[in-house]
Amino acid sequence: MSQLLYMWCLRTVPVQLFDHIAKCIAVFTKEEFGKEKKKLALGFTFSFPTKLDGLAKGILIRWTKGFCASGVVGKDVVRLLRRACKKIPEIDVDVVAILNDTVGTLMACAFSDKNCQMGVILGTGTNACYMEKLKNVHKMKGEWENDGLPDEIIIDIEWGGFGDDGCLSFVQTEYDKEIDEKSLNPQRQLYIPLNCS
């Protein structure tokens, strides 16, 4: 059953995908809180390349890891999840933040050890993030100075895309190339199948 559900989620349309996620949230909240309807803040871990336009706004750049649900690329996935949650009257959930799994890993570790400087994921995908001084982030020059906020930022490396330019083709075996050709997203995230499940 879980394999069939997984295959369905890979290729569904956005409304069905996010409605399913919202239903899972409803099941979880019912199991945890019973029939008591509590207002809950939700942090949304979304492990796909996403352009973050705010703490709770993330535009999907592209699917990876075999997902190809149509109509989601270029859309705000937080908005899609919020809409789906509003359809279920038994829950009162607000998606207050979207983050990548590596960022969540780093933040969880840093909560208990302030010396934590890096988050790494090795699983169905792979990625890393690290702490960087804002003065070294050329993309944000001038935007952060004198704003009273911390002088560091988390940089999401998105190293799963390493090799998409062909620089890893010399290490790909015929089997790696066949897997890539038959994937839903050929020539994308080539580093992941070389290292992960």
Assess whether 91 and 124 both reside in one domain: no
Domain containing residue 62 = 2-99
Catalytic residue among 30, 35, 39, 65: 65
Catalytic residue among 35, 76, 87, 101: 101
Assess whether 111 and 180 both reside in one domain: yes
Assess whether 87 and 171 both reside in one domain: no
Tally the domains of the chain.
2
C-beta contacts of 6-13 below 8 A and 24+ residues apart: 9/67, 9/69, 10/66, 10/67, 10/68, 10/69, 10/184, 11/68, 11/69, 11/70, 11/184, 12/69, 13/69, 13/70, 13/71
- Position 132 scores a pLDDT of 93
- Position 111 scores a pLDDT of 94
Assess whether 95 and 109 both reside in one domain: no
Assess whether 53 and 9 both reside in one domain: yes
Q: Which of 99, 119, 137 is at the close of a domain?
A: 99
Assess whether 133 and 92 both reside in one domain: no
Q: What is the CATH number of the domain that holds 47?
A: 3.30.420.40
Catalytic residue at 19?
A: no
Q: Kindly report, residue by residue over 60-96, the tens digit of the pLDDT.
A: 998 877 777 778 899 999 999 999 999 998 889 999 9
Assess whether 175 and 115 both reside in one domain: yes
Assess whether 185 and 147 both reside in one domain: yes
Element (H, E) at 22: helix 14-33
Q: Which of 57, 80, 99 is at the close of a domain?
A: 99
The structure's pTM equals: 0.74
Assess whether 111 and 164 both reside in one domain: yes
Per-residue pLDDT of the chain (197 residues; tens, 9 = 90+): 445 555 555 556 667 889 989 999 999 998 988 777 778 999 999 988 899 888 999 999 988 777 777 788 999 999 999 999 999 988 899 999 999 899 999 999 999 999 999 999 988 788 899 999 988 887 766 666 666 677 888 999 888 888 888 888 888 889 988 888 887 778 877 787 777 75
**Which residues does residue 152 pair with via DSSP β-bridges, in sequence order?**
133
Q: Which of 57, 81, 99 is at the close of a domain?
A: 99
- Position 192 scores a pLDDT of 76
- Position 1 scores a pLDDT of 42
Catalytic residue at 65?
A: yes
Residue 135 three-state SS: helix
Assess whether 123 and 173 both reside in one domain: yes
- Position 125 scores a pLDDT of 80
